[in-house]
Chain A
Amino acid sequence: MSTTDIHHADQFRHEALFYANEDQFLGGTVPFIRGGVRAGEPVLVVESAAKIGMLRAALGHDAGAVLFADMAGVGANPARIIPAWQDFVNHHQGATRLRGIGEPIWKERTPDELIECQRHESLLNVAFGRGRPWSLLCPYDTETLDAAVIDEARRSHEFVTDGSQAQSSDLFRGLDASGAPFDVPLPERGTALARIRFGAPDLAAVRNLVANQAEAAGLGAMRAAELAIAVNEIATNSIHHGGGRGILTIWLEPSAVICEIGDHGHFDRALVDRERPGKSVAAPRGLWLANQLCDLVQIRSLRDGTVVRLHKRRGTPQGVN
């Protein structure tokens, strides 16, 4: 890339690559990957299986030096992507620079997933913006994604490549504001299947209600139990940190079972649900666990309290195109 002139080489660089076709995709990614390989930098590409195949073919011999991971697995729940990048960076402690490519947004993402993917893109700045120098390039397919999605990418990335030349993004919201989209309310949903108030004596009843409703919705015993475990952890947070009680709402939608826990607590750390738990036994693990067990976790801390929405998909997981 001919872009280092507008960038301090000792910082994290978060760049969006807008492409409209395969040539533009390869034209933006292959030189970036090759530059890293030839400089001896560790390179991790998290893309769809189809794009990984395309890149391997284009890279030829150089592909052997590149790490590839399937975004369909890593990023099914977008909150699991930052820990994967964190592992990559931590694993290469000796490297002075690293490079990554990650494409978390594709047209089949549901509206809820899209919101959380956009939040993820912004949180990358919080997670890495003041840490080690490395470059993350995020391809966006301008042919299939809405213009609003491309606009938001200009706000969540400090740099954009649109055409051939990378530029600073005039719309970039900056490091400090990147943790903020914590307080935009979640969309209203339809009629709830169930809504109950709970307190400390009701945890077992909360678990049973969730497991029974999820199983009745066809989730299967194992996935229903996973959802119940996640709900139990969030409800436990309500009891111990969120005012002693909360409200559980369950929606049954065609694509997912959704459980929302509302309470009077407040989260102020933007990365609270995606920082790998510390070694200390006492370190919190409930939100982390929820992200490992659920397909999507949406957290919003508003003036009057916090809501956490847990999504568990019905039917087979959605693929990446």
Chain B
Amino acid sequence: MYADSHLVVTRTHEPAGLCFAGEIDSSNARAVADFLSNGLAGTDDIHLDMSGLSFCDVSGIRSLIEVAESREQGRLLLHGLPNLLQEVLIATGWANLPHLVVVS
């Protein structure tokens, strides 16, 4: 569905959503946000399998939040987010957002 030199995103079916593998940084954060904005139609919660996301910088998290907040309804649910990225979400004050939820 989406691929660049650092990141591959594929569709998942059970649950319906997307699977991330690789890295997001300022080189591809904008492209990832554009891809998600276009690809995440509808109003249901969307499940994102983040267990293969080995790196995500502040601009990458910002992109996910912007996409989540731009949807009229439905949240982005992050599954399997690596511990280090959970730590980054807390340190940046981005834990406990209404539209971007870390599922433990």
Contact = CB atoms under 8 A, between A and B. Distances in A.
Given A200-B27, A229-B84, A236-B26, A281 B57 contact: no
Contacts of A201: 27
B62 interface: yes
Secondary structure at the B interface, as helix, strand, loop or mixed, is helix
Nearest to B68: A281
B92 interface: yes
Q: Which of A239, A281, A288 has the most CB of B within 10 A?
A: A281
Interface string B78-97: 00000110011001110000
B58 A286 contact: yes
Interface string B44-74: 0000000000010111001001100100000
A233 B65 CA distance: 18
Contact of B91 (A204, A222, A293): A293
Given A204-B6, A281-B65, A281-B66, A289 B84 contact: no
Contacts of B65: 281
A288 B57 contact: no
A276 B93 contact: yes
Contacts of A282: 62
A203 to B, nearest CB: 5
Contact of B88 (A203, A204, A236, A289): A289
Nearest to A203: B25
Contacts of B92: 277, 285, 288-289
Nearest to B69: A281
Interface string B10-28: 0000000000000101110
Secondary structure at the A interface, as helix, strand, loop or mixed, is helix
A285 B58 contact: yes
B69 A204 contact: no
Contacts of A200: 26-27
30 contacts: A200-B27, A203-B25, A203-B27, A207-B25, A222-B83, A222-B84, A226-B84, A226-B87, A229-B55, A229-B57, A232-B25, A232-B55, A232-B57, A233-B57, A233-B58, A236-B25, A236-B59, A239-B26, A276-B93, A277-B92, A281-B62, A281-B66, A281-B69, A282-B62, A285-B58, A285-B93, A288-B92, A289-B91, A289-B92, A293-B88
Given A277-B93, A281-B69, 5 more contacts: A204-B6, A229-B57, A239-B26, A285-B93, A293-B88
Contacts of B23: 204
How many residues of A sit at the interface, in one of the four size bands?
20 to 34
Contacts of B91: 288-289, 292-293
A196 B57 CA distance: 21
Contacts of A222: 83-84
Contacts of A292: 91
B57 A236 contact: yes
A233 B25 CA distance: 9
B100 to A, nearest CB: 10
Nearest to A281: B65
Nearest to B84: A225
Contacts of B62: 281-282
Q: Which of B62, B83, B88 has the most CB of A within 10 A?
A: B88
